[in-house]
Structure 1
């Protein structure tokens, strides 16, 4: 059988179930670490409950994903997860979810592993959100999740450091209120409000236009040029203020790195 015949016969098995996200629907990718509990607890000596080295690995991974060919308006990371909001008008990879899931998981896994010097694998899924309010709710959800996880983690590891077993520490905070957990930390001399914001709210990434001074060799004069710059925000707000931040990013349109390619 000729190659062309084989290709036309078998290619359909790869593409028959391709799904493309409809126009005017927002896409958000959530990229999660696979088996990161084992990676961070058994294979790597990361500080508990939060480790600056691990945070920086995740930051560099997000920066890579926002510069590897996708039109990303906003990136966000907390713990071992990453969320990416794509421009609603993007046509990269014809909006095929198969391509987004496979490429983003692969790019994240490769970048993180190279930085760590060990294997760190990620999976990926795409949320299809029909309205701006759904996008705002999505990122508010992840922001609130970061806050909840941070409080639980600080309480858990405070108890573990006091020689509670894993089971005992979990039982101490299971089902307890936010006020109870804050008071538990306060009695040990820790004020949760004083912990770094990146631990409680995650880290955000968005493009901004900045002025750069350049030199024009033709006119032999300095000139001001506008460049796109990726801002890493470790002081994210919470609540309605965070909602308004996401709303503003949605309304201000698309600004992408010059390195991005379809």
Structure 2
């Protein structure tokens, strides 16, 4: 069998189940760290429940993803997860889901591993969202999950520092209301409302324009020029204000 014939024959098995995101659909990719609880709490022993060094490694990883050839307009991160909103008309890899998932997971895993000096692996899944409302709902969902995770994480690690095992701490938190959890933290000297906003609300990253001084080699004059950079927003608004923030971001794309 000649190579061209063999090539055509075998590629069918590789591409038969390719799915592409249709035009007019918003794409959001969500990446999650694989076994990151063990990696960050047992192997490398980052500060629990939140560590600025880990946060900054994740933010640097996201900036790499926003510069790796796919047009990412907004990124949001909380805990060990990353959500990426593609530009509306982004068509890299012809919007093939398997390619986007594999490339983004690979890029994130490689960059984070280099920063950590150890193997850190991400998975990736694509959400296909039909309109702006659902894009806003998606990021509101992850944003509110961050708040819930922060409250639970601080309570859990207070109990662990009190000498409770992982099983005991989890069991003791079952059935507790939000007020109960806040009271538990208060008894441990923690006012949840005064914790850093990046822990409770996550972090947003998006492009912004700024002006800097350039040089015109023809006239020999200094001239103002616009450049683009990624902004790390560690003080995102809450609830309806956050929904409005995401809607306005989409309106400006």
Query: Where on the TM-score scale, by shorter chain, does this alignment land: which range?
Result: over 0.9
SS at match of 1:119: coil
Superposition TM-score, scaled by structure 1 size: 0.94
Name the structure 2 match of 1:256: none
**5+ unaligned residues in a row in structure 2: which ranges?**
none
Distance 1:158 1:21 in 2: 44
**Secondary structure of residue in 1 paired with 2:162:** coil
Q: In the aligned structure 2, how far is the partner of 1:45 from the partner of 1:164?
A: 18
Give 1:188 deviation, angstroms. Answer: 2.0
1:92 Cα deviation (Å)? 1.2
1:200 matched residue in structure 2 = 200
1:170-181, aligned counterparts within 5 Å? 170-181=170-181
Instruction: State whether structure 2 residue 247 is matched by structure 1 residue 247.
Output: yes
Separation in structure 1 between the aligned mates of residue 165 and residue 95 of structure 2, nearest angstrom: 48
Which residue in 2 is equivalent to 1:93?
93
1:162-213 alpha-carbon deviations (Å, 9 max, x no partner): 1122222212222211111111111222100111111111110001111111
Q: Which residue of structure 2 aligns with residue 78 of structure 1?
A: 78
SS in 1 for 2:146: helix
CA–CA distance in 2 between the matches of 1:156 and 1:37?
A: 13
Q: Following TM superposition, where does structure 1 have runs of at least 4 consecutive aligned residues deviating by more than 2 angstroms?
A: none
Q: Tell me if 1:138 matches 2:138.
A: yes
Instruction: State the secondary structure of the residue aligned to 1:245.
Output: helix
Compare relative contact order (CA 8 Å, sep 6+) and give the higher one, 1 or 2.
1
SS in structure 2 of the partner of residue 169 of structure 1:
helix
Partner of 2:211: 211
CA contact (8 A) 2:57 2:115 kept: yes
State the secondary structure of the residue aligned to 1:70.
Answer: coil
TM-score by length of 2: 0.98
Residue 23 of structure 1 corresponds to 23
Matches within 5 A, 1:103-182: 103-182=103-182
- Residue matched to 2:222: 222
Whole-angstrom distance in 2 between the partners of 1:89 and 1:62: 21
**Paired position in structure 1 for 2:187:** 187
Q: Give matches, 1:49-88, under 5 Å.
A: 49-88=49-88
Q: Which moved more, 1:25-34 or 1:167-176?
A: 167-176
Q: Distance in 1 between matches of 2:31 and 2:149?
A: 17
What is the distance in 2 between the residues matched to 1:68 and 1:155?
Answer: 38
How far apart are the structure 1 equivalents of 2:202 and 2:174? 23
Report how many residues are paired.
253
Give the SS at the match of 1:211: strand
CA distance in 2, matches of 1:161, 1:42: 15
